Amino acid sequence: MWWRQDWLFALLLLIVTTLAYLPALNGTPIWDDDAHITQPELRSWDGLVKIWTQPGSTQQYYPFVHTFFWIEHQLWGDAPPGYHVVNIALHCVSALLLLRILRQLEIPGAWLAAAIFALHPVQVESVAWISELKNALSGVFYFSSALIYLEFDRTRKFAPYLISLILFVLGLLSKTVIATLPGALLVIFWWKRGKLSFKRDALPILPFFILGAAAASFTAWIERSLIGAEGSAYDFTFIERVLIAGRVIWFYLGKLIWPLDLIFIYPRWQISQAIWWQYLFPATIAIALAILVWLRRWRRGPLAGMLFFIGTLLPVLGFLNVYPFRYSLVADHFQYLACLGLIVPAAAGISLALTHAESWQRWTGYTLYLCLLVTLTMLSYAQSQIYKNVETVWQTTISKNPTAWMAHNNLGAVLLKKKQLEDAIDHFNKAIEIKPDEASAFTNLGNALLQKGELGEAIFQYQKAVELKPAAAGLHYNLANALLARGEVDDAIAEYESTLAINPNYADAHNNLGAVLLQQGKLDQAIDHYQKALEINPKDVRAEGNLAWALATTPQSTIRKAIAVKLAQHANETSGGANPLVLRILAAAYAQNEQFSEAIETAERALQLATDRNSVLAESLQAELDLYRNGQPCRYGSQE
């Protein structure tokens, strides 16, 4: 029976797909995974509300995806295997939904098409990369909505129509690339009927088009305004965008047919309307479409497949700006759904050919089926190994694409964390050599030189970064810290002020500027900045401690002394009561409030904790403890 065969196929597909992705199951987060996995400030119920109501609180405004991440974090925290298992499971569900759709449409080769979709190595990036839950989840909604819409098309009942529309909206909230679904459905109906009826086909699907267009427009605005998909990297004329589109289509067709040398970051093409051979890409696409249009009188399938392929790729053909274009104009995960435009007609053609073949030819064909799927599984297994950890991703990318400045920059950052300073500096210099206008590479180089002890050279690199990107608050902040370390206090203050002029809610800048002002005896100004930092993040123990320290170690009114004690007590509770720095602040607050017995007890506990950890802090605490025993508060004005 067919349903038993499908259950067996589903089980086999799950097993084989899991085997194909086995190397990535324990893969640690890469690139922007840490930003997608729910951040600490969003892990509460209030954070869940922010995911939906505050664009910019998450990496991208795909609230259903980030709700999914939120749930996952409640279940298994930061442990990577859970995230990978979910991606694999969703991918398999999409393949099975595809099987049901192809069966409903009575398209031959449904099993083969579903298996190729599940096992093709171009899908690895969408499944093994945690962040691409966007593709896996939106894909399930895409196929579910399509399947149920086909039921509506058959019965014309309102219930399946409404369910399909709801699923489509959930898909848009997961990734707006599925806005192409209504166009895909119209292609399917044209393929089935040979023509389209406005009343039967176009009118019911019009709400889908409107919702898709609205979601796409909003996402485009988010990409420009909040993510940064604008600037010189996106300055193409319309003709150049047509050239990009033609080349992109051929690129993805090539990777589907011959899936070798798949790279996480492909070389970024130099596009110019002055180069004649680049016109060959859109020209040959136009010729191919013309041939398929001519052939439609005999077979509509190939033209339908190509229209589906190109139409589904439309959001990433270069006519719209998406952030990854600053690194490369193509990426494997961009054709997660579009690949069906080639896979389904190819599987159907092979199946039809075998139907009319001799018995021995059919068995030969089935053997080739098996060989193809085994080959795809092996290629996906090999590709999955790249996603074991972030260092492997960047090393593999550089080995295949040495011009990937971003890979050099990010690998350098990984090596910097491992204290491999010379290697990190080499990669940062390489990134700057390839892309001399990239501020982040100069910043990273400055960080490495700072760790190496070359303070002057680090400041020079930070200044270069600020020159390249003067509107970036974080770059001014880094420069301010370096200037302060070299004792250039006035210049440091100026950079902190520049940071806050750009971003008034930069809590760390408020904290650091407050500390500098406190050292200069500008108590009220310092307190203002500490209070602002605490206002921005009420759970910021550092800001709370700094404010308490300012109030506890300078002459204050009775009210401010009491406030210092309350702030310090809360900071101590928040930090778990075992942080010697926070305990030091609490002791100073008690002493300022003339609670010397509490001050002595607290300082002794801090001294005990600090003795084995921080000898400088222990010496300061011992001196302060002597003051408290003599009935005197400490008078620093800033933490030493």
Sole residue written with tokens 């400490």: 634
Within a domain: 127: yes
Within a domain: 445: no
Are residues 406 and 439 in contact, defined by beta-carbon separation less than 8 angstroms? no
Within a domain: 10: yes
Q: Closest by alpha carbon to 288, among 249, 330, 238?
A: 249
Q: What is the per-residue DSSP string for 45-102?
A: HHHHHHHHH-TTSSSSS-HHHHHHHHHHHHHHTT-HHHHHHHHHHHHHHHHHHHHHHH
Within a domain: 437: no
Are residues 362 and 354 in contact, defined by beta-carbon separation less than 8 angstroms? yes
Are residues 31 and 389 in contact, defined by beta-carbon separation less than 8 angstroms? no
Domain boundary among 386, 402, 421: 386
C-alpha–C-alpha distance, residues 504 and 501, integer Å? 6
Sole residue written with tokens 């694409």: 401
What pLDDT, on a 0 to 100 scale, did the predictor assign at position 559? 59
What pLDDT, on a 0 to 100 scale, did the predictor assign at position 556? 64
Question: Which residue ranges of the chain lie beneath pLDDT 70?
Answer: 1-5, 554-561, 612-614, 635-640
Amino acid in the structure at residue 329? L
CA separation (Å) from 297 to 195, 294, 309, 469? 12, 7, 20, 57
C-alpha–C-alpha distance, residues 535 and 548, integer Å? 14
Within a domain: 333: yes
Amino acid in the structure at residue 512? N
Look up residue 149 and give its two tokens. 């819409």
Look up residue 53 and give its two tokens. 């109501």
Are residues 340 and 257 in contact, defined by beta-carbon separation less than 8 angstroms? no
The Cα angle at residue 53 between residues 50 and 54, in degrees rounded to 5: 70
Q: Where are the alpha helices (DSSP H) in 223-278?
A: 238-257
Are residues 62 and 219 in contact, defined by beta-carbon separation less than 8 angstroms? no
The Cα angle at residue 535 between residues 581 and 566, in degrees rounded to 5: 50
Sole residue written with tokens 């795809």: 376
Within a domain: 443: no
What pLDDT, on a 0 to 100 scale, did the predictor assign at position 3? 54
Q: Closest by alpha carbon to 449, among 459, 434, 436?
A: 459
pLDDT digits (tens, 9 = 90+) for 258-313: 999 999 999 999 999 999 999 999 999 999 999 999 999 888 999 999 999 999 99
Domain around 245: 2-37+78-386
What pLDDT, on a 0 to 100 scale, did the predictor assign at position 364? 83
What pLDDT, on a 0 to 100 scale, did the predictor assign at position 603? 81
* 3-state secondary structure (DSSP) of residue 136: helix
Length of the chain: 640
DSSP 318: S
Q: What is the per-residue DSSP string for 588-628?
A: HHHHHTT-HHHHHHHHHHHHHHHHTT-HHHHHHHHHHHHHH
Q: Closest by alpha carbon to 394, among 284, 558, 566, 265?
A: 265
Q: Is 574 exposed, middle or buried (0-12, 13-18, 19+ CB in 10 A)?
A: middle
pTM (whole model) above 0.75: yes
In CATH, what number is assigned to the domain containing residue 555?
1.25.40
Q: Closest by alpha carbon to 162, among 208, 203, 215, 196?
A: 208
Look up residue 402 and give its two tokens. 């040495």
* 3-state secondary structure (DSSP) of residue 349: helix
What pLDDT, on a 0 to 100 scale, did the predictor assign at position 638? 46
Within a domain: 579: yes
What pLDDT, on a 0 to 100 scale, did the predictor assign at position 617? 80
CB within 8 A of 381, min separation 6: which ones?
A: 19, 20, 21, 22, 23
Q: Is 613 exposed, middle or buried (0-12, 13-18, 19+ CB in 10 A)?
A: exposed
First to last CA, the chain: 79
Look up residue 234 and give its two tokens. 């996106």
CB within 8 A of 82, min separation 6: which ones?
A: 72, 75, 76
Within a domain: 504: no
Are residues 389 and 396 in contact, defined by beta-carbon separation less than 8 angstroms? no
Amino acid in the structure at residue 485? A
Look up residue 515 and give its two tokens. 């500390």
Domain boundary among 386, 417, 449: 386
The Cα angle at residue 552 between residues 592 and 505, in degrees rounded to 5: 160
Domain boundary among 348, 371, 386: 386
Q: What is the per-residue DSSP string for 453-481?
A: T-HHHHHHHHHHHHHH-TT-HHHHHHHHH
What pLDDT, on a 0 to 100 scale, did the predictor assign at position 1? 47
Are residues 146 and 181 in contact, defined by beta-carbon separation less than 8 angstroms? yes
CB within 8 A of 342, min separation 6: which ones?
A: 253, 256, 257, 305, 309
CA separation (Å) from 581 to 79, 313, 553? 31, 55, 14
* Total count of domains within the chain: 2
